[in-house]
Amino acid sequence: MEQTFVMVKPDGVQRGLVGEIVARLERRGLKLVGAKFMQVSQELAAEHYAELKDKPFYPGLIDYITSAPVLAMAWEGKNAVGAVRQTLGATKPSEAAPGSIRHDYGMDVGRNLAHGSDSPENGAREVALWFQPEELVSWERATDAWIFE
């Protein structure tokens, strides 16, 4: 089953939106398979955002993501990557669809509340980067047959 890495970023935690963001993913039908509340190190932030290191906003992005705790999560489901990206909304809150998290709670691209992997390959890569194998929980959910055909 496809896995994706999701993070409630420092602004989401500081604004008390952890429960709201988790609730939306749960209600969508995604299954939580890993979670930890943590402060992100410079090293982990640099590895996570490696492909953005030449962007002008990169220093600010690293400062922000390491500035306060985050909730790191792994979620699973059919098309989990796409489903999370749709529930989060476009990168810029000003372009995110109404009803998406970034639209409903966000104003600025540099404070867009949450992260979701952008491809199944990056989902697998990011889950492996953020979680040790023993931190992921494989479990049967009683409602699965009512969510996935």
Extract the annotated binding site for ATP.
9, 57, 85, 91, 102, 112
| Nearest-approach distance from CB 85 to Mg ion, in angstroms | 9
Long-range Cβ contact pairs of 98-106 (< 8 A, separation 24 or more):
101/20, 101/21, 101/24, 105/12, 105/15, 105/17, 105/20
Q: Contact, 15 vs 92, CB < 8 A?
A: no
- Residue 48 known to be catalytic: no
Cβ nearer to ligand DAT, comparing 32 with 109: 109
| Nearest-approach distance from CB 145 to ligand DAT, in angstroms | 32
- How far, in Å, CA of 75 to CA of 4, rounded? 5
Cβ nearer to ligand DAT, comparing 54 with 140: 54
Choose the one of Mg ion, ligand DAT, none that binds residue 110, judging by a C-beta under 5 to 8 angstroms depending on kind. Answer: ligand DAT
Cβ nearer to ligand DAT, comparing 30 with 114: 114
Of the candidates 129, 134, 136, 130, which has an alpha carbon nearest to the alpha carbon of residue 71? 130
Of the candidates 66, 73, 69, 67, which has an alpha carbon nearest to the alpha carbon of residue 46? 66
- How far, in Å, CA of 147 to CA of 143, rounded? 7
Binding letters toward Mg ion, positions 116-135, x by CB under 5 A: --x-----------------
Q: Which residues bind ligand DAT (CB under 6 A)?
A: 52, 57, 61, 91, 109-110, 112, 115, 118
Residues that bind Mg ion (CB under 5 A): 118
* Residues annotated as catalytic (active site), given as ranges: 115
